[in-house]
Structures are given as structure tokens and as C-alpha cells.
Amino acid sequence: MKTEKESKLRLAKLREAYESALLAREEYASEMEKHLKQYMGSPEIDGSAESAGTVRNVTYEIIESEISSDIPHPKVEPASYSESREHNARSVERLCSSVRSRLPFEEMNDRDERYTYIFGGSVWYVEWDGSVSEDSVLGGIKIHCISPLDFIPQPGIHEIQNMDYCFLRFTATKGEIAAKYGISEEKLELCECEYEWGGDSASDTVSVVVAFYRDEDGEVGKLVFSGELVLCDLPRYYKRRIKLCKRCGKPYSSCLCGGETEEVELEFERIVDKSGAAALVPYYTPREFPIILRKNTPGVPSLFGSSDCGRIRPEQQAINKIETRILQKLLRAGVTPVMPEGASVTLSNAVFGQVIKTRPGESLDSYGKIDTTPDVSQDIAEADRLYDHARRIVGITDALTGGGSSKSESGYAMQLKISQSSSRLESKRRMKYLAYSEIYRMIFTHYLAFADEARVLDYKDAFGTVHSAEFRRSDFITEDGDGGYRYDDGYLFSVDLNSGTLYSSEELWEKNLRNLTEGTLGDKDNPATLLRYWQSQERAGYPYARENVEYFKDIIEKEAGKQQLYGKETTI
């Protein structure tokens, strides 16, 4: 059982590590800040006190061209095959798909994509929240996508699971802190305020630090603090805990004597084995930090990958200088009239009504103009050349975006160019797939550790029929070889590249139509084949596909009824 003295010692030790880690990451944190400003269109010029007069934000355009809204589907396979483990793998897939549908993954994926290309990576944080309600069942998963600026790693370590400690930084209101951690108003004054002015808090928000660390046994601990105040201290984060009455020994929820309570860790849970006898199985305990790092494109050993902003920064800076020079040239340009001395001309900006009165015998050659408009065509050409160069650095080419194609090119040649351009982005996609497979694996381990009640999972089969299944932790209990029991977590996680989410809806509609017309699904005049086609279109999100599915189902049922009736009449 932890004491207040032990919590203060842990706070002092982790605060010291936190301050050291902040100092160690100052250099690359300032680089990240620079990349963010570049993405936002900063006019700053490296090595110059003078800013650019105008900004052509090609960085924003290029990064936005890379953003993908695809959220990969989970794919789970047992490490060693058995019928029961194969069944469990499908159950885990449905669980991960259910979490994926319930949580705002579209929004998190949007942030994840931009963080990755701007900073070179992103941070995902998975936690179990006992207050979350999932279909009237308490307890559920929460997932956060966090900016790398709010992740403070152990200095010098490039793999998250090799670290002894790391930190996440959040901003929260005092009211939120009080409600979540049960902190009194007096203690809230010890929190570190997000903004201060003259030593006083200038806002109602505070800075919260979540520290994860490994103890001497390699188990993960969690300490949440703000300033000098400990908000949450869980020395063995994944261990089950229960509050018991010191006097009667009953759980706090059923205690009637009103005695003091103490928090006790639970090591085992009671189960009934196949023979009907009572047995004990250790609670499943993950041994890794609940944090996933997605890298952009890994190169030299580093915590994150390389930033696309950093790669094209020289081109962005050069374009800003050229665009500023173009603007300066055009602002200084003008047309100056030339006329003989004593000419009777009224100069104005009017388009009509200008009259020049010449003297008898005076030549019009005495009148003219001097055009000081400079030639900026070379500047524009150079800016465009740098823009194309920046696009090619990150793999965004004309072939990939559909521009710059020649009418004389064959369809195969164009498709080959698109394929070659797309392959340059394949490394980034693979890093995304790897991150999502880790997210799905961590979802599974958290449910295996904490989900006591069965979770109902609805899913559709290949024929569009809705089924209900359940995820139970007890299905993963297996014998450990020594006469005891353990939880089986031996499953391999990846993403399903054939799920359809990696294609646009239009591409899937065209593929399904091609399968129908080419006879891949069967006779295209057969109602059963048309039913399969419209079921595929329904899964691909085709408008009004559901009505067609019901229509062809009705036709098939009526045909089956007629055949059954005809068979009975023939028998009579």
C-alpha cells in the first residue's frame, strides 16, 4: 500500500527527470516549433532579421495533398493455430472494429496525419476508463492522439518500450481536475497554472503531466501531477485494485460498519475450469507503456521520422524570397508620360475625356511614355521550378495528382507513372499501418486486463445479415503447462489491406461493377448474382444500394416460394 511520503518521493524523483528531459529536448522541440510556423505560413527567413514581404505557402499545399482519411481495419491472426484461437482472433477483430467505430477516429486520424508530416511523427495514448459506459456496461477504452510537442521522452532512447520513463503533457481546467481526481479547492492552488502574470494565475487552466515509469521489477507505474500536487499515484498501473474496509474486510461498496478503507491489489481471480472445479488464474497484466509512436519516414536512429516541413524548408524559404522580390518589383513599376515643355495636357486617371491640344505644326513624336515595369517572368519560372522540386522531394508529383499528362501517353504508361509516384509514399503508409496495428493490439490487451463483463459486438456477414457476438475475457484462459491457468495473448496484429478502406468509394464502385460485367460474381442476369453485387455496393457505401438489396432478396424469396409450391403440386 502506497503512503503519502512515498508519493512525494516519487514526485520529487520524476519531477527532476521531467525537468532534465525538457532541457534535453529543447533543440528538437524548437525545430518542431519552426516546422509548425512554416506550415502556418510564417514569413521568417533563416539567418535574417528581415521577414519576407509575402509568403507563397507551398508547404501547406504539399502537406495537405498527403493527408489520407483512410482508417485501416484490424486484422488478427493466432500465433499458433487452433480452432478456438481462430475463433478468438475473429472476436478480437470485431472488438477492435467496434472501438474504431465508436470513438472519433476520423478526427484523430486527421490530426495524426498532420502531426506526422509536420513534426515527423505523432503520439497515441491508450487508457482504460472505468467511468466510461459501453452499452450499459461500465468500463471502456479511451484513445488520444497527441502532438509530439506534448510528449517528453527519456533522453537518448529512440524506442518507446526501451525507455525507463516518459511524460505526456496536457492542459485542463481546474474544475475538470477537481472532478476527475477528487481534489479540493485548497489543494488546487498548488497546481501549475498554464498562464501566469506577475506571479498570479491569468486563467483557469492548469498544466498536467502524466508520467509513466518502470519499477525495479519492470512493471509500469503512473504518476499524474501538476506543479507540487500529486493528482494520481499508481505504482503498479495495470494491477487490479479494490477498496476494503480495515475493520470488517468487506469491499467498500458493501461495507456497513463505516470503518476506514485501504486499497489492496488483487493478484488472482476465481474461475470454474472445464471439470467444474474452482481454480485461480492471475489477472492479465500488460508490461508496456500505453503509448504508440508513429514515425513519418524512418532514417537515422531517432525517436520520430523526418519532417516533410524540414525537407522542403530550403525551397519554401527560397520561394518566399523570390515572391517578395516579385512584389517589390511590381510595386516600384510605373508608366511616366513624356511631353514637350509647355504642353497643354491635364493628367488624370480618367479613361475617357483626355484631350491633348497640340500647337500648329507640332509633331506627335514629341509625346510618349517611359514604362518602368520590370520583367518578372524569370522570377516566376524559378519560383515554379522550386515548387515542383519541393513536391518531388516528398513524392507529390503530377502523375500522382493527375496533372501534367500527355495526350500521346497510353493508359498503361500513365498508370505506370502513377504507380511509381505512389510507391514513393509507400514507406509512410507502412508506418501508419504499423502504428494502427499497435493501437489495435493495445486495445485488446486493455480489454483482456480490465473488461470483466462480456461485450456485445454486432457485425455483418458477407451477405449483409447482422449477427451478434460477444467478447469475453474467459475465452482467452488457457492452461499454462504447469497445471495452472493464464490468459493467452499470443495473437499477431496487422491491418487488413483488402478491407476496402484503402480505396476511395468511387474506386470500389467501379471495381464491383467490373466484377459484375466480367462475370466474376456469376451470371449477371441471375438475381442471386445481382444480389451479391448490390451487397458489395452497400458495403462500399453506394447510394440507395440497400433498397436494391431488399428488392433482389424479395425476388429470390418469391422465386423460391414458387418452386416450392410447384414441387408440392407435382407431388400430388
- Give the confidence band of 412 by pLDDT, cuts at 50, 70, 90: very low
Average pLDDT (120-124) is 96
Mean pLDDT computed over every residue of the chain: 85
Number of domains in the chain: 1
Once rounded to an integer, what is the mean pLDDT over residues 97-110? 94
* Helix ranges (DSSP H) in 103-219: 105-119, 174-181, 185-188
* Helix H or strand E segment including 307: none
Q: How far apart are CA 417 and CA 265, in angstroms?
A: 60
Q: Which three cell numbers stand for residue 198?
A: 506577475
pLDDT band at 466 (very low <50, low <70, confident <90, very high): confident
Give the separation between CA 65 and CA 554, rounded to whole angstroms. 45
Q: Is residue 410 part of a domain?
A: no
Average pLDDT over residues 105-111: 96
Question: Which range of residues forms the domain containing residue 529?
Answer: 505-571
- Is the pLDDT confidence value at 443 over 90? yes
Which pLDDT score is estimated for 528? 87
Residues 284, 41: Cα–Cα separation, whole Å = 49
- 523-559 b/e (C-beta count within 10 Å ≥ 16 → b): eeeebebbbbbbbbbbbbebeebeebbeebbeeeeee
Given a cut of 60, is residue 147 above it in pLDDT?
Answer: yes
Under the banding of pLDDT at 50, 70 and 90, the label for residue 169 is very high
Residue 441 inside a domain? The answer is no
Q: Give residue 20's region: left, alpha or beta (phi > 0; psi -120 to 50).
A: alpha
Say if residue 180's pLDDT is above 60: yes
64 in any annotated domain? no
The C-alpha atoms of residue 479 and residue 279 are separated, in whole angstroms, by: 11
The phi, psi pair for 457, rounded to 5°, reads -125, 115
For residue 545, being part of any structural domain is answered with yes
Residue with cell 520529487: 12
**pTM above 0.95?**
no
Kindly tell me if the per-residue pLDDT of 218 is higher than 70: yes
pLDDT of residue 572: 44
**How confident is the model at residue 194, as a pLDDT?**
65
pLDDT digits (tens, 9 = 90+) for 186-196: 788 778 776 55
* For residue 351, pLDDT beyond 80: no
Q: Label residue 271 by pLDDT band (50, 70, 90).
A: confident
Q: Is residue 278 part of a domain?
A: no
Higher pLDDT, 536 or 25: 25
pLDDT at position 408 is 52
Q: Say if 553 falls within a structural domain.
A: yes
Closest to 456 (Cα-Cα) out of 181, 202, 135, 166: 135
Exposed (0-12), middle (13-18) or buried (19+): which is 201, by Cβ within 10 Å? middle
Q: Is residue 540 part of a domain?
A: yes
Residue 357 has pLDDT above 90, yes or no: no
Does residue 385 belong to any structural domain of this protein?
A: no
Q: In what order do the strands lie in the sheet with 205-214?
A: 151-153, 165-173, 205-214, 220-226, 229-234
542 is written with which cell numbers? 453506394
pLDDT in tens, 273-320: 877 888 899 999 999 999 999 999 877 778 898 999 999 999 999 999
Express each pLDDT in 381-407 by its tens digit. 999 999 999 998 888 876 554 455 555
Alpha helices in 395-425 (DSSP H): 398-401, 411-423
492-548 pLDDT, tens digit per residue, is 999 988 765 556 677 778 888 888 888 888 888 888 888 888 888 887 778 888 888
Choice between 338 and 27, residue whose per-residue pLDDT is larger: 27
